[in-house]
Amino acid sequence: MINKADKNITEVLSQIKDGATIMIGGFGTAGQPAELIDALIDLGVKDLVIINNNAGNGDHGLAKLLKTGAVRKIICSFPRQSDSWVFDELYHAGKIELELVPQGNLACRIQAAGMGLGAVYTPTGFGTLLAEGKETRHIDGKDYVLEYPIKADFALIKADKGDRWGNLVYRKSARNFGPIIAMAADVTIAQVSETVDLGALDPEHIITPGIFVQHVVQIEPTHSTTAAST
Amino acid sequence: MINKADKNITEVLSQIKDGATIMIGGFGTAGQPAELIDALIDLGVKDLVIINNNAGNGDHGLAKLLKTGAVRKIICSFPRQSDSWVFDELYHAGKIELELVPQGNLACRIQAAGMGLGAVYTPTGFGTLLAEGKETRHIDGKDYVLEYPIKADFALIKADKGDRWGNLVYRKSARNFGPIIAMAADVTIAQVSETVDLGALDPEHIITPGIFVQHVVQIEPTHSTTAAST
Amino acid sequence: MSHTLLTRDQIAERAAQDIPDGAYVNLGIGLPTKIAKYLPADKDVFLHSENGLLAFGPPPAKGEEDPELINAGKEYVTMLDGGSFFHHGDSFAMMRGGHIDICVLGAFQVAANGDLANWSTGAEGAIPAVGGAMDLAVGAKKVFVMTNHTTKTGEPKIVSELTYPVTGKNCVDRIFTDLCVIDVTVKGLVVTEMVENLSFNDLQAVTGATLIDATK
Amino acid sequence: MSHTLLTRDQIAERAAQDIPDGAYVNLGIGLPTKIAKYLPADKDVFLHSENGLLAFGPPPAKGEEDPELINAGKEYVTMLDGGSFFHHGDSFAMMRGGHIDICVLGAFQVAANGDLANWSTGAEGAIPAVGGAMDLAVGAKKVFVMTNHTTKTGEPKIVSELTYPVTGKNCVDRIFTDLCVIDVTVKGLVVTEMVENLSFNDLQAVTGATLIDATK
């Protein structure tokens, strides 16, 4: 009998080692798995490569992880924000490497990894600094840049509800990168606000089928659950 | 005020002209929009290119359309079935052109069109007859075939419920190609078993957002609706 | 009589008039966001946000904010009846796949050929950030730009060639400024409207590219 | 004493033993489908079907068939609690993206290097059909083949090189036949089990490729 929700957060995260490549869900703080990130910080691993849309906000979550110096490189689309002072300082001090990827190419390269594609020709970024040195091709009247998949050893995501087979549903705009990074990582760890019985999630409503999820960790919800969703 | 459900089936289909490329949903008969196909037959257009997983079953739906001689070419993955006698006869008589595409490449090329990609490197079919003459590339230890998007002028799909903005939910394994062909056609026409009020579909449960759907046509359900689904 | 510059709200109001009923629209972060409040209530205009929202609505009432219901500008929003949530892959398929009818973007510069610069000034040491701008520039059916006609120091933002790093090539269709409306065409930059009491010559004088007058 | 051939059900039962708890499995149309009934009830084995089902269950009771709940073989099925529906794009992402642990396919031929032929005999005038076979062959973590050891006319199906058109190159990991179990390794075809009273020499005699005996 498979129970993907049978380990505590520390046990689950202990498989992450120095040098790991980790995708982290969230757009800003919506959908950011804050508790998994805190547990990752406690683990004390180093030399990480992080993939996220942003580069941390304020002093919590991803920003806090960056501040520990555990992250060697970040792949993201929008690091510069009004409250990204932790990243800003590391970047200006030359203490973190940045690979800037247009947001749609970030999504698309993650999807390519999840789908098992070798590479894709994307129109985004053609002729820009972010495509410098990259192979291009003119196809059917339009210009494209060749982009390669982005995979990861781990994905840390935040979902709303999960079951013991790893099926997940999300909440509002916290869904964002969750479903696609779950498909692109060797091991996906989901924190959920509620663990439900098998069969409680309608098969028509499941957003991430359990095949893409290896561990489910229940965290007490901190958001206001005004609108319940299944 | 936008009401995508305000025209009858004949009005909606009358925009389809000779020579159109049409994607048709369905895997076998599950999810096949039989009533839309019947109306297409009544329209009497010719020289069509059809994209579907199969090439018709029995004497109804897609098979019936083929039998009228309206279809110049079919792009599919599995034309040969125990009840595909209509296609078999046309094929052996040289009256229909067949482009055979591995099912996953069919899905993936349709997705590439919907996503706006120029081409993708897919591992499926490498070294086989179905990749003969196609460009290949060795990427990160694995071989891939370059495949181009499949787009269409129209997509005809069957969904379970829809609203006046074109939002759709599907029913069980009738979902199959529906959501991805809706994204790859210029004009998507969905037949639904029930038209519901705006807001009746939970935003978390909508499978095809209305942006991908231009027309919704309500058809009386013929399947047994033992399990209601939203 | 001297002319009056349009306020930011007036530019937004003018741009809103060119958004038809039923349009799927992405409003870029900053100035373009203002357009939302000038969309007439009798039109169904579907606002898309990169982070997985379609048909979102106005900000929530105070106290009703949900940190998990934000737009791409990370502002609190609400959902309209008929709205939907989806993941980033589908969201950018909408953008890159040509499903968004109109996007409205801010600009550092627009060139005579429709090249857009809005993501980086190329300043030494600045942290680069691009977000979804490059996807919108290449993917939306029509790209509108909403901007002041010149910089705060009076430099033209509409130029013959970009000096800032490009976001998207040949992508801009129409420009709404505090002085005029310009269509980017194969013939060049065609001025279709100007604020009152502004002469075409005065407009040309504050523009870094040749304009064609079509206001008469 | 002469050996006895395994029945189709016995091959299925043997193959079922090599499917571990928690495996995501795609059973190809035809013979492999039989494996489902030999999966022990105390294991959670997740059956995937190309047409958008995960964790489907046994056929429905008579009268409960739903034409919109079918598997890739177009047979009526049921859903287990914890099952899910998804579209063809996601379904083939599961297959092509390496998320399926094991697929079990039928075969016309398997070559010594693991090449598989199961989609076309190349016969003149035959209508070609491929379905999802090529995706499973390249995408599943492990590819099992379930087949009779020889054709009805006694020709070997395990051969040094394919004579039928290839489905996938170097893809087969293990072969279950009515005579034996073979692992496809870098060293060659390694026989790990044989039916009782069959000599290795007799097995080699009905096989078109060199076998390595690892049964002792």
Please report the pLDDT score of residue C197 as a whole number: 94
Confidence band, pLDDT 50/70/90 cuts, at residue D30? confident
Does the predicted interface ipTM exceed a cut of 0.95? yes
Mean pLDDT across B90-115: 98
For residue range D64-101, what is the model confidence (pLDDT) as tens digits? 999 999 999 999 999 999 999 999 999 999 999 999 99
Q: Residue A137 in contact with residue A146, Cβ under 8 Å? A: yes
pLDDT tens readout for residues C185-198: 999 999 999 999 99
Contacts of C124 (CB under 8 A, 6+ apart): none
Residues of chain A positioned with their CB less than 8 A from the CB of D42: 1
* pTM for this prediction: 0.96
Q: What is the DSSP letter of B207?
A: S
Q: B90 near B96, Cβ under 8 Å?
A: yes
pLDDT at residue D121 tops 60: yes
* pLDDT averages per 10-residue partition of chain A, 230 residues: 95 98 96 97 98 95 97 97 94 97 98 98 98 98 98 98 98 98 98 98 98 95 44
pLDDT digits (tens, 9 = 90+) for D193-214: 999 999 999 999 999 999 999 9
Residue C108 · residue C137 · CB < 8 Å: no
**Cα separations in angstroms, D206 against C185, D153, D181:** 74, 12, 14
Alpha-carbon distance of A196 to A166, in angstroms, equals 10
Q: Tens digit of pLDDT for each residue in D156-196?
A: 999 999 999 999 999 999 999 999 999 999 999 999 999 99
Q: Which of A223-227, B40-44, B198-202 has the lowest mean pLDDT?
A: A223-227
Interchain CB contact of C103 with B (< 8 Å): no
β-strand pairing of C102-105 with C24-27: parallel
pLDDT at B225: 42
pLDDT tens digit sequence for B85-102: 999 999 999 999 999 999
Give the per-residue pLDDT at C122.
87
Of B112, B137, B148, the CB nearest to A118: B137
Q: What is the pLDDT of residue C125?
A: 84
A205 neighbourhood in chain B, CB within 8 Å: 204-205
* Res A229: pLDDT: 36
For chain D, give the mean pLDDT: 96
Query: Residue C165: its chain A contacts at CB < 8 A?
Result: 128-129
CA distance B143 to chain A (A): 8
Residue A220: the pLDDT is: 77
**Chain B interface, mutation test: which of C47, C80, C81, C84, most B Cβ atoms within 10 Å?**
C84
Given this model, what pLDDT does residue D122 score? 87
User: Is the sign of the CA dihedral B80, B85, B87, B92 positive or negative?
Assistant: positive
Q: Which residue has the higher pLDDT, B157 or B223?
A: B157
Kindly list the structural domains of chain B, giving each domain's residue range(s) and its CATH number in brackets, ordered by start. 5-101+150-228 (3.40.1080.10)
Q: With contacts defined as CB-CB under 8 Å, which chain A residues touch B120?
A: 112, 117-121
High-pLDDT (> 90) share of chain D, %: 92
Residues of chain B with pLDDT > 90, as a percent, come to 93
Structural contact between residues A2 and D44, judged by C-beta atoms closer than 8 angstroms: yes
- The CA distance from B183 to the nearest CA of chain C, in Å, is 8
Give the residue on A whose Cα is nearest the Cα of D79.
A203
Cα dihedral value B69, B72, B78, B83, nearest 10: 10
| B119: pLDDT strictly greater than 50 | yes
Tell the residue number behind the tokens 């091959």, with chain if given.
D11
- Provide the pLDDT for residue C1: 61
How high does pLDDT run on average in chain B? 95
Residue D1: pLDDT band (50, 70, 90) is: low
Which residues of chain C fall short of a pLDDT of 50?
A: none
Among the options D50, D75, D161, D193, which is catalytic?
A: D50
Q: What is the pLDDT of residue A113?
A: 98
pLDDT for position A171 = 98
Please list, in sequence order, all residues whose beta carbon lies within 8 angstroms of the beta carbon of residue A159, skipping any fewer than 6 positions away: A168, A169, A170, A171, A178, A190, A191, A192, A193, A208
The DSSP symbol for C71 reads: -
pLDDT-derived band at B28, boundaries 50, 70, 90: confident
If you average pLDDT over residues B139-151, what whole number do you get?
98
Q: Which chains, if any, share at least 3 CB pairs under 8 A with chain B?
A: A, C, D
Touching check for A171 and chain B: CB below 8 Å?
yes
Task: Report which DSSP code applies to A89.
Answer: H
- What is the rounded CA–CA span in Å between residue C172 and residue B103? 38
Judged by CB atoms closer than 8 Å, whether chains meet at B120 and A121 is answered as yes
**Which one, of C21, C30, C2, lies nearest residue C12 by Cα?**
C30
Q: Cβ of C74 and A110 within 8 Å?
A: no
In angstroms, the separation between the Cα of residue A91 and the nearest Cα of chain C is: 8
pLDDT bracket for residue B224 (50, 70, 90): very low
In angstroms, what CA-CA distances link A185 with A62, A110, A152, A155, A181? 18, 9, 5, 6, 6
